[in-house]
């Protein structure tokens, strides 16, 4: 399924039904009074978050939504039918904006959370409503009010505890596949991951956390280069970033350049990502002998003071300890 994380839709609440012009006409009552009923209220539109969706792709083919109009009033003082409300389901993590004012209307970050987006029009009055001591046969009625109408922009930000970042081919997807039940596409070429992948890491029956893997970042990503920039918003809600680094570079300088590139792009992105706690995960240690790995660790310990983990997604080495440490961090 194609991953779509932004869309625009038009929502139109139902119009109120018009009031009825009617007089009571029965045998032996030739001059009965007014009996025109009021119209029905128009239906409103609600937006509801649901766990059953993870993309906005359904809005690609349908982007206009209308609630039902209220029915017209009837004779014998019968009120018109109230228009049915309409519920639009969106993925959990959807942010709803008014495109005209740019105002954030709501941030739907819980399953079944809902909000009324537009309100249906009020009903019109039948002529019975206007009966008075001075006007016993009113012919006045009113039309129902128009329902509210808005153009909305929906932006989806996936909900995850931990975000995986790094250059293309660093092994982020391999790590996600090794620690969770997720099945991301993995291959030896840049931008194998072209949309965010989510994986649930189960430590036991009661302890778990969610990891998001986004497409690899490259130099200039914050200005539009590559694929990663359009998905950085999906890690803005995470509590912890894991910077995955390919340790198979020819020298330590390449590793340091990797770190500098990602740090620069996070800083340039307007979302406070550079302020988030970040741990370094050095992948592909299976390519090193024990002696060479210890030598590399010694050099990196001098260059990098942040928290570091050495793992192999291919051999599943060091991942259990990493997951346990991550869970301890996010549950604090």
What are the structure tokens assigned to 142, written together? 């009113």
> Do 255 and 304 form a contact (C-beta atoms < 8 A)?
no
Measured between alpha carbons, how far is 163 from 213 in angstroms, rounded to an integer? 6
List domains and CATH numbers for the chain.
6-156 (2.70.210.12), 162-330 (3.40.50.300)
Q: How confident is the model over 46-58, as a mean pLDDT? A: 86
Q: In Å, how far are 87, 262, 263 from 267, measured between CA atoms?
A: 39, 9, 6
At 218, the pLDDT band (50, 70, 90 cuts) reads low
Q: In Å, how far are 11, 12, 242, 310, 313 from 279, measured between CA atoms?
A: 43, 47, 5, 11, 16
Measured between alpha carbons, how far is 275 from 138 in angstroms, rounded to an integer? 69
Position 193 pLDDT exceeds 50 = no
- Over the stretch 121-159, which tens digit does the pLDDT of each residue have? 999 999 999 999 899 899 999 999 999 999 999 988 877
Position 262 pLDDT exceeds 50 = yes
- Of 80, 86, 49, the C-alpha closest to 64 is 86
User: Angle at which helices 290-303 and 252-268 pack, to 10 degrees?
Assistant: 40
Choose from 41-50, 227-236, 271-280 the range with maximum mean pLDDT.
41-50
Mean pLDDT of the chain: 85
- Percent of the chain surpassing pLDDT 90: 48
- Of 233, 241, 247, the C-alpha closest to 107 is 233
pLDDT at 221: 47
Decide: helix, strand or coil at residue 223: helix
Measured between alpha carbons, how far is 217 from 231 in angstroms, rounded to an integer? 10
Contacts of 272 (CB under 8 A, 6+ apart): 236
Position 232 pLDDT exceeds 70 = yes
- Sign, CA torsion 290/295/296/302: positive
Q: How confident is the model over 221-234, as a mean pLDDT? A: 57
Q: How confident is the model over 166-184, as a mean pLDDT? A: 80
Q: How confident is the model over 13-32, as a mean pLDDT? A: 87
At 217, the pLDDT band (50, 70, 90 cuts) reads low
> Do 252 and 296 form a contact (C-beta atoms < 8 A)?
yes
Q: In Å, how far are 3, 55, 189 from 186, measured between CA atoms?
A: 17, 21, 9
Measured between alpha carbons, how far is 189 from 159 in angstroms, rounded to an integer? 27
pTM of the model: 0.72
Position 258 pLDDT exceeds 50 = yes
| pLDDT: which is higher, 195 or 149 | 149
CA 252 to chain centre: 39
């Amino acid at each position: 399924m194609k991953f779509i994380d932004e869309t625009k839709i038009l929502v139109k609440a139902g119009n109120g039904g018009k009031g009825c012009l009617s007089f009571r006409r029965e045998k032996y009552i030739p001059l009965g009074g007014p009996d025109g009923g009021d119209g029905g209220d128009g239906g409103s539109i609600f937006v509801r978050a649901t766990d059953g969706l993870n993309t906005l792709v359904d809005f690609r083919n349908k982007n206009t939504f209308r609630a039902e109009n209220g029915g017209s009033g009837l004779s014998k003082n019968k009120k018109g039918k109230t228009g049915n409300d309409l519920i639009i389901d969106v993925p959990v993590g959807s942010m709803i904006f008014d495109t005209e004012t740019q105002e954030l209307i709501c941030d739907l970050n819980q399953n079944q959370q809902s909000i009324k987006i537009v309100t249906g029009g009020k009903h019109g009055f039948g002529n019975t409503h206007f009966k008075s001591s001075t006007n016993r046969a009113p012919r006045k009625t009113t039309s129902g009010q128009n329902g509210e109408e808005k153009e909305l922009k929906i932006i989806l930000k996936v909900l995850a505890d931990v975000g995986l970042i790094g250059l293309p081919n660093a092994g982020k997807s391999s790590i996600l596949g090794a620690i969770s039940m997720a099945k991301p596409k993995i291959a030896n070429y840049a931008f194998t991951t072209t949309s965010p992948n989510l994986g649930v890491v189960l430590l036991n029956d009661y302890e778990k956390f969610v990891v998001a893997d986004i497409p690899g970042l490259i130099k200039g990503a914050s200005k539009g280069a590559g694929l990663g920039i359009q998905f950085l918003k999906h890690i803005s809600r995470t509590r912890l970033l894991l910077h995955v680094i390919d340790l198979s570079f020819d020298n330590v300088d390449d590793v340091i350049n990797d770190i500098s590139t990602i740090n620069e792009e996070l800083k340039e992105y307007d979302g406070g990502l550079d302020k988030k706690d970040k741990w370094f995960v050095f992948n592909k240690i299976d390519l090193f002998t024990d002696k060479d790995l210890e030598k590399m660790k010694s050099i990196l310990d001098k260059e990098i003071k942040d928290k570091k983990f050495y793992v192999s997604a291919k051999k599943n080495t060091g991942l259990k300890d990493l997951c346990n440490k991550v869970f301890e961090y996010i549950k604090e």
